Amino acid sequence: MKKLLAIFCLTTLLAASDVAAAVRLKDIARVKGQESNSLQGLGLVVGLKGTGDGGKYLPTIRSLATVMQYMRNPALNGPDELRDASNVALVMVTATVPPGGARQGDQLDCQVSSIGAAKSLAGGRLFLAALQGPDIDNARVYAFCEGLVHLDDPATPTVGRIHGGCRMEEDLFNPFIEQDKMTVVLDKNHADFEVAQEVAEVINSQLSIQSGENTPAKALNSQNIVISVPQQYRDDYVLFVSQIMSLSMPEPAVESRVVINERSGSIVIGGDVEIGAVVVSHKNVVIETEGVLPVERFTPVDVGGAQGTKLKALVSALQAVKVPTEDIIDIIKGLDRNGKLHGRLIIE
At 321 the pLDDT is 82
Beta sheet of 274-275, edge-to-edge order: 309-310, 274-275, 341-342
| 104 and 142 Cβ atoms separated by less than 8 Å | no
| Dist CA 124 CA 339 (whole Å) | 57
User: How does the average pLDDT of the chain come out, rounded?
Assistant: 82
Q: Model confidence over 259-285: pLDDT tens digits?
A: 999 888 899 988 788 888 888 887 777
CA nearest to 347, candidates 259, 265, 264, 224:
259
pLDDT band at 11 (very low <50, low <70, confident <90, very high): very low
Which is it for strands 107-114 and 159-168: parallel, antiparallel or unpaired? antiparallel
The three-state secondary structure class of 291 is coil
Asked if the model's pLDDT at residue 226 lies above 60, the reply is yes
At 159 the pLDDT is 95
Higher-scoring residue by pLDDT: 225, 56:
225
- For 161-211, give the DSSP string: EEEEEEEESS-B---S-BTTEEEEEE-TTT--HHHHHHHHHHHHHHHHHHH
**Mean pLDDT, residues 6-25:** 52
Indicate the DSSP class of residue 78.
G
| 127 and 192 Cβ atoms separated by less than 8 Å | no
| Dist CA 85 CA 75 (whole Å) | 12
At 45 the pLDDT is 93
At 309 the pLDDT is 80
At 160 the pLDDT is 95
Higher-scoring residue by pLDDT: 208, 319:
319
pLDDT band at 196 (very low <50, low <70, confident <90, very high): very high
At 73 the pLDDT is 65
**Mean pLDDT, residues 119-136:** 88
pLDDT band at 237 (very low <50, low <70, confident <90, very high): very high
